[in-house]
Amino acid sequence: MEAIRMVNLVKTYGSGPTEVRAIKDVSLYVNPGEVVGLLGPSGSGKTTLLQCLGAVIDPTAGKIELNGEIIFDNGWKIDDVRALRRDKIGFVFQAAYLIPFLNVLDNVALLPMLAGRPNDQARKRAMELLAILEVDHRAMAKPAQLSGGEQQRVAIARAMANQPPFILADEPTAPLDSDRSLIVMKLLGRVAEQFNTAIMIVTHDDVIIPRFKRLYRLRDGIAHEEAGQGLPFPD
């Protein structure tokens, strides 16, 4: 069973003569433990597709299944989208977008807390994730005190906090240099493997594109599946 599956997804903005079809017909899937790339030039509908996948906007037609559960089906959608985003989808953004007034530990613990977990349990879970991502030594620091790479690791830890089956990463290596980009990619790969999480990464980064085993190229609102080179990460 796929972690995420999208079938014949369509998204149009406006109607009549002003109608714009941002996504014409997209079908894609990501398996548990798999890291898949989503590539496409500017204006190809990437952002719209991401927003549909992240359950932030409603598609016009089509079907989305998350972990076997239908979350959207031709106009029908799951009731509590907010809880779905909180518990079943992890987000990693281009800039880390950590909450500046919370320390690293609480930035990660915030998600389990929002899900109703007691503070001590949420912080324990956050600390474990920070250790896996090798930023536990900065647990008490504020985001502004971290380097870009460290901020992205914390963002990944936050995305993992509620152990979602699917993580959506929007150009997570854009602000990083090549070495750090590879480190972040390697960490995402490790997270996918260790937690059996499906990860979809939107990127333009030439350094990491060759590392995908499978990728989708979005052109004029249509996704084309391609096999990637699947190069190993350097040690």
Partner 1 sequence: MINLAFREISHSWARYVLTAVGLGLLIGVTLTMTGLVRGMMDDAVALIRGTRADLWVVQDQTLGPYAESSTLYDDVVHNIAGLPGVAEASNVAYLTVQVRKEDKDVRMQVAGFEPGKPGEPPYLVSGRPIIKSRYEAVADIKSGLKVGDKIGIRRTDLTVVGLTSGMVSSGGDPVVFVTIQDAQEIQFQKDNTTIYNERNRLSANPKLNRPGSPGLLQAVTESQQSNHKVNAVLVRLTPGHDPEIVAETIRRWKKLQVFTYEQMRQILQVRVIANALRQLGMFMVILAIVSTAIIALIIYNMTMGKIRELAVLKLIGAKNKTIIQMILQQAWGLGIIGFFVGKATAAMIAPLFPKRVELLAFDAMVSFIIIMAICTMASLLAIRAALKIQPSSAIGG
DSSP 65: E
Least gap, CB of 52 to partner 1 (angstroms) = 10
Q: Which of 75, 101, 179, 210 lies at the binding interface for partner 1 (CB under 8 A)?
A: 101
User: Which three-class secondary structure state does DSSP give residue 36?
Assistant: strand
Q: Does residue 102 interact with partner 1 by CB under 8 A? A: yes
Least gap, CB of 93 to partner 1 (angstroms) = 6
Residue closer to partner 1 (CB basis): 82 or 213:
82
Strand order in the sheet with 4-13: 76-77, 69-73, 61-66, 4-13, 20-30, 222-227, 214-219, 35-39, 198-202, 166-170, 89-92
Q: Does residue 196 interact with partner 1 by CB under 8 A? A: no
CA distance 158 to 211: 24
Q: Which residue, among 234, 9, 157, 63, has the nearest Cα to 146 in the 3D structure?
A: 157
Q: Does residue 50 interact with partner 1 by CB under 8 A? A: yes
Task: Give rounded-to-5 percent helix, strand, coil for the chain.
Answer: 35, 30, 35
Q: Which of residues 135-174 bind partner 1 (CB under 8 A)?
A: 142, 158, 168, 170
Q: Which of 12, 27, 31, 47 lies at the binding interface for partner 1 (CB under 8 A)?
A: 47
Q: Does residue 7 interact with partner 1 by CB under 8 A? A: no
Residue ranges in contact with partner 1 by CB under 8 A: 46-47, 50-51, 54, 56-57, 82-83, 85-87, 91, 93-94, 97, 99-102, 106, 109-111, 113-115, 119, 142, 158, 168, 170
